[in-house]
Amino acid sequence: MDPLAHTLVGACLGETGLRRVSRLAMPTLVIGANLPDVDALATLAGADAMYGIRRGWTHGVLAMALLPFVLVGVMLALDRLQRKKRPDLERPRSGRLLALAYLSVWSHPFLDWLNNYGVRLLMPFDGTWFYGDAIFIVDPWMWLSMAAAVVLANSKSKMGIGAWSVLGLATTGVVVLSPSTPLGVDVAWLAIVAAIVFARARPIVVERAHLVARTCVALLGVYIALMLVGTSMARSQARAFLERRNETVQHLMAGPLPANPFVRDVIAVTPNRYLFLEVDFLGNERFTESHPPIPRGEGPEAEAAMASPEVAGFKHWLRFPSYRVESGDGGYRVHIGDVRYTRTGAGIGHGVVELDERLRPLRASLRK
């Protein structure tokens, strides 16, 4: 998920009452919810390193065991510095902080697993990618559900009101101005935002922000469960639909689309091409073709391109690879794409490997 979602989840957990179990509980929850994304520094090492490192070591079981101890160690060091200036401060309860650190750090790979980018949960012992395919990587409904309680509890000053107003306007713009968002979704979003503003104006609601937070966490759990069920239904229905058309489906993904929980984006793998459908649970037509078929393009040139050491990380990241070969004087250019992203024009998931006439890799370039 995006950093805003992780941050709001950590903050909302704090507002349920967990912030009161120990001093430094809230920063532990918020930092822990984002901590596995320290691997974003891999982008500085180049595109192939980014593909090879992201959502790996720092998102796997070993990191999940160790990162909470690292986080609590930093929190206790911060406490010692603070109490040198203010000896009257209450000592944090290290055992409780550790429990909160585990809760927040573990929330991160769980949320990342929910989308179709995936996460390598067993690293460093096994590099297998796991995909929940249930929640889009940027999900405004998750923002809204978690922000409700956090806004109520942290908008008591003019600065707080101003900051949350700016964030609210920005996220509302993302949803309402998106061409892919249906009118009904826009109306629902604006109605919920208006309800949060109305609730903020009622002191009794602000005083009970912890109850609102608990309700929001419960609703988020229900939302995630329903999205998982919807993905499972779309996957089985799309497979049956394609098989009725005599398509040989080897593998199939039914993933989410931004902001619209009632539609699933389907990628079906057949022996020589990818097929694309949208499954609309509320539409007049349940199944529509969302993109023309894309050839898989496998062959000796593609195999030679993927053997290049310059795309080793990219190779392991690919989920639905497609290849397009261009012949030229003295060699070939092999375009490699992951159709999850390249068919929509997204800025990731594409690379080019140049080969000589003997299919030996010469150079490679990748998009971050």
Please tell me whether residue 222 adopts helix, strand or coil conformation. Answer: helix
CB of 319 within 8 A of CB of 339? Answer: no
Three-class secondary structure of residue 339 per DSSP: coil
| Position 219, amino acid | L
According to DSSP, the residues that pair with 353 across neighbouring strands are 334, 364
**pLDDT at residue 40 greater than cutoff 70:** yes
Instruction: Output phi, psi for 54, to 5 deg.
Output: -55, 140
pTM: 0.91
> What confidence tens digit (pLDDT) does each residue in 92-148 have?
999 999 999 999 999 999 999 999 999 999 999 999 999 999 999 989 889 888 888
Q: How far is the C-alpha of 100 from the C-alpha of 26, rounded, in Å? A: 9
Cα–Cα distance measured from residue 140 to residue 5, given in angstroms and rounded to the nearest whole number: 9
H/E run at residue 293:
strand 287-295
Whether the pLDDT of residue 21 is over 90: the answer is yes
The whole-angstrom separation of Cα 105 and Cα 317 is 23
In this prediction, residue 161 has a pLDDT band, given cuts at 50, 70 and 90, of confident
Please give the Cα distance from 236 to 245 (Å, whole number): 15
**Residue 80: enclosing H or E segment and its boundaries?**
helix 61-85
For the stretch 243-289, pLDDT in tens is: 999 999 999 999 999 888 999 999 999 999 999 999 999 888 899 99
Band of the pLDDT at 205, cuts 50, 70, 90?
low
The predicted-structure confidence for 270-280, as pLDDT tens digits, reads as follows 999 999 999 99
Contact 340, 267 (CB under 8 A): yes
Dihedral (C-alpha) 159, 137, 345, 338: value to the nearest 10 degrees?
Answer: 150
- Which residue matches tokens 């503003």? 197
- 353 membership: H or E segment, kind and range: strand 350-356
